[in-house]
């Protein structure tokens, strides 16, 4: 079973300035819930109990969000507004929240490495990039679908989707052998290749299940694309040994790291809530 999930959440969210000047981008709301809460709910649904956040300076609101707010609860107790806090209260009570900081922005691989103290080195763990909001209306969440695959293949699992060729340079791209409906045994992974370099249009999105040997591999990974330690490069070493599965998930994914994707997600969720 996958019991722990890491949430890299140190990024500045510059695309949302000035909104993110004093507020973490993970706290931007889609309707009434901050983006990060959707990620935590997805992890919980997949069976995770420990939620580990790799944060940075200016991210304290995340810790406060996943904690009891006595004053607020006292104020609205017994009023018609009490139910607004029921869902988050249940989430807080049913999970353990842990935090560490990435002091310098050295890439996603480095952020995950910093999370080692939160998830330990003995079991596989999940990673959710909350910016990628995933929904599967009336079906299983994306991480939950991936946990099933992990239980079958016992190796790292990445979620993928097809993107337009012109967009391949925004993603980690995989190539591999199709071994089942929507499932590939990854042979190669490249971080943000140019359209001519990209072997396929199968893009990694922000959901991973990683086996703990990834930490040693990250340690040996040199800075790659944009001078950052890339998780894609560390995973590529596992892929060479046939230890990475890529899965075309069922559901929808919104890129909430961009204003367009964020608005799209908001509209979609609003329609769903009616
Ligand atoms: C990260 C990963 C990339 C992946 C993407 C998914 O990139 O490095 O491989 O495709 O997330 O959202 P970022 O979007 O943080 O630049």
pLDDT digits 0-9 by tens, 193-240: 999 999 999 999 999 999 999 999 999 999 999 999 999 999 999 999
Our answer on whether the CB atom of 168 is closer than 6 Å to any ligand 1 atom is no
- Domain that residue 244 falls in: 4-273
Closest-CA residue to 177 (of 235, 250, 245):
245
The pLDDT tens digits of the residues spanning 71-108 come to 998 999 999 999 999 899 999 999 999 999 999 999 99
Give the atom of ligand 1 at the shortest distance from the alpha carbon of 225. 8
Ligand 1 centroid to residue 101 C-alpha, Å:
19
Q: How confident is the model at residue 138 (pLDDT cuts 50, 70, 90)?
A: confident
**Tokens encoding 146:** 């991936």
Q: How confident is the model at residue 144 (pLDDT cuts 50, 70, 90)?
A: very high
Q: What mean pLDDT, rounded, does the chain reach?
A: 96
- Strands of the chain, DSSP E: 4-8, 29-30, 33-34, 50-55, 96-101, 125-128, 132-135, 156-162, 172-180, 183-191, 202-210, 244-248, 252-255
Q: What is the pTM of this model?
A: 0.96
Ligand 1 centroid to residue 242 C-alpha, Å:
22
Our answer on whether the CB atom of 132 is closer than 6 Å to any ligand 1 atom is yes
CA-nearest residue, atom 7 of ligand 1: 171
**Tokens encoding 259:** 């204003």
Our answer on whether the CB atom of 204 is closer than 6 Å to any ligand 1 atom is yes
What's the structural domain count of the chain? Answer: 1
Burial annotation 163-195 (CB, 10 A radius, 16+ → b, else e): beeeebbebbbbbbeeeeeebbbbeebbbbbee
Our answer on whether the CB atom of 243 is closer than 6 Å to any ligand 1 atom is no
61 has pLDDT over 90:
yes
Closest-CA residue to 97 (of 12, 24, 20, 9):
9
Q: How confident is the model at residue 149 (pLDDT cuts 50, 70, 90)?
A: very high
**Number of Cβ atoms within 10 Å of the Cβ of 267:** 12
Q: Which stretch of DSSP H or E encloses residue 74?
A: helix 70-76
Average pLDDT over residues 245-252: 97
Give the atom of ligand 1 at the shortest distance from the alpha carbon of 203. 10
What pLDDT shows up at residue 216? 98
- Measured over the CA atoms of residue 147, residue 133, residue 25 and residue 108, the dihedral's sign is positive
Ligand 1 centroid to residue 67 C-alpha, Å:
29
Percent of the chain having pLDDT more than 90?
94
Ligand 1 centroid to residue 196 C-alpha, Å:
19
CA-nearest residue, atom 9 of ligand 1: 172
Closest-CA residue to 203 (of 176, 183, 229, 174):
174
What pLDDT shows up at residue 182? 96
Ligand 1 centroid to residue 5 C-alpha, Å:
17
**Number of Cβ atoms within 10 Å of the Cβ of 3:** 17
Query: The CATH number of the domain where 106 resides is what?
Result: 3.90.550.10
């Amino acid at each position: 079973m996958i019991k722990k999930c890491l949430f890299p959440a140190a990024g500045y969210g510059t695309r949302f300035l000035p909104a993110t000047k004093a507020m973490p981008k993970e706290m931007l709301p889609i309707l009434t819930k901050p983006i990060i809460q959707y990620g935590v709910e997805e992890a919980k649904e997949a069976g995770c109990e420990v939620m580990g956040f790799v944060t940075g300076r200016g991210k304290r609101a995340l810790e406060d969000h996943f904690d009891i707010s006595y004053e607020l609860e006292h104020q609205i107790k017994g009023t018609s507004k009490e139910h607004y806090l029921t869902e988050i209260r249940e989430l807080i009570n049913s999970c353990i929240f842990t935090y560490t900081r990435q002091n310098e922005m050295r890439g996603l691989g480095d952020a995950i490495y910093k999370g080692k103290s939160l998830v330990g080195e003995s079991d596989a763990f999940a990673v959710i990039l909350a910016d990628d909001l995933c929904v599967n209306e009336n079906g299983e969440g994306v991480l939950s679908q991936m946990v099933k695959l992990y239980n079958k293949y016992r190796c790292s699992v990445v979620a993928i989707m097809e993107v337009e060729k012109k967009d391949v340079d925004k993603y980690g791209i995989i190539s591999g052998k199709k071994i089942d409906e929507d499932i590939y045994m990854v042979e190669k992974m490249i971080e943000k290749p140019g359209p001519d370099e990209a072997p396929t249009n199968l893009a990694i999105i922000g959901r991973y299940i990683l086996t703990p040997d990834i930490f040693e591999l990250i340690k040996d990974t040199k800075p790659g694309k944009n001078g950052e330690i890339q998780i894609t490069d560390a995973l590529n070493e596992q892929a060479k040994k046939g230890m990475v599965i890529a899965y075309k998930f069922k559901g929808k994914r919104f890129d909430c790291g961009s204003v367009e994707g964020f608005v799209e997600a908001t509209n979609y969720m609003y329609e769903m809530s009616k």
